[in-house]
Amino acid sequence: MKKYYGLGGKYLEEHKSYFSKRQLQKDIHFLIDVLKLKKEDKILDLACGHGRHAIELKKRNFNVDGLDLSDYLLSISKKNAEQKKLQIKFYKQDIHNINLKMKYDKIFLFFSEFGLFDADKALKNISKILKIGGLFLLDYDNIFRLIQYIKKHPESSYKFDFSNMELKKEEKNSPRIKYYTIPELKEILKVNKLKVISIYGNYEKDDLDINSKRNIIISKKIKNIEWEE
């Protein structure tokens, strides 16, 4: 995966059509709305990639940092921020081992391949740097949409392993992407003091269903003693 997200990797090219100015504005409007972003909030763009969301939020005078593991994508982030004369802190760190001194009011993991991570380790680290009362947004592909796509396109190189709930491309050394049901994620979030408060199926805030493009979960960091079902 380092190669995929690195120099000469396929990540930027494969998602080129998604990285439009129109889509970016749509994304930002959604993030500001559902996370109730305020100018005084300390915000973290987790797995920020080449920094499109962090940079756009900073242009709107939000206080935002970025974090990613790819040297190549972070170099693009820093270069674009410098060209726009924006002061943004970008950290090169692993989501499984985040080491930051500050805590954040809002954190988002947007348009992510969450299944590449160890969910429990990642969410434990996210909870560690999120303030009590802070909000975390997790956005990833809807498993049911993917399964429908594969059934309609049997020629696809992607196959779904139902026994392990994993998506895999039929290529040598291709990584397996784990998919979680909403109840499974709710439980992992709960263990890490994150209570689900909203679930959406797209960036228009429609309800999640079998045809939704995305799984978007917003959770709130709370103390154990404040937990209510």
Task: Give 229 or 23, the one with higher predicted confidence.
Answer: 23
CA-to-CA dists, residue 24 to 20, 29, 51, 212, angstroms: 6, 9, 11, 19
Average pLDDT, the chain: 89
> Which residues fall within 8 angstroms of residue 23, CB to CB, at 6 or more apart?
none
Rounded distance, CA 168 to CA 10, Å? 16
Instruction: Measure Cα distances from 32 to 9, 25, 57, 145 in Å.
Output: 31, 11, 9, 26
Residue among 47, 164, 64, 173 at smallest CA distance from 113: 47
- What is 11-142+195-223's CATH topology? Rossmann fold (3.40.50)
pTM of the model: 0.91
Average pLDDT over residues 16-26: 81
- pLDDT tens for 128-178 read 999 999 999 999 999 888 888 888 888 888 888 989 999 887 777 777 889
The answer for 111, left when phi > 0, alpha when psi is -120 to 50, beta otherwise, is left
Alpha helices in 129-207 (DSSP H): 143-152, 182-191
The whole-number pLDDT of residue 145 equals 86
Task: List beta partners, residue 194.
Answer: 221
d(CA 150, CA 7): 29
| Residue ranges covered by each domain of the chain | 11-142+195-223
Q: Which residues on neighbouring strands pair with residue 168, listed in sequence order?
A: 159
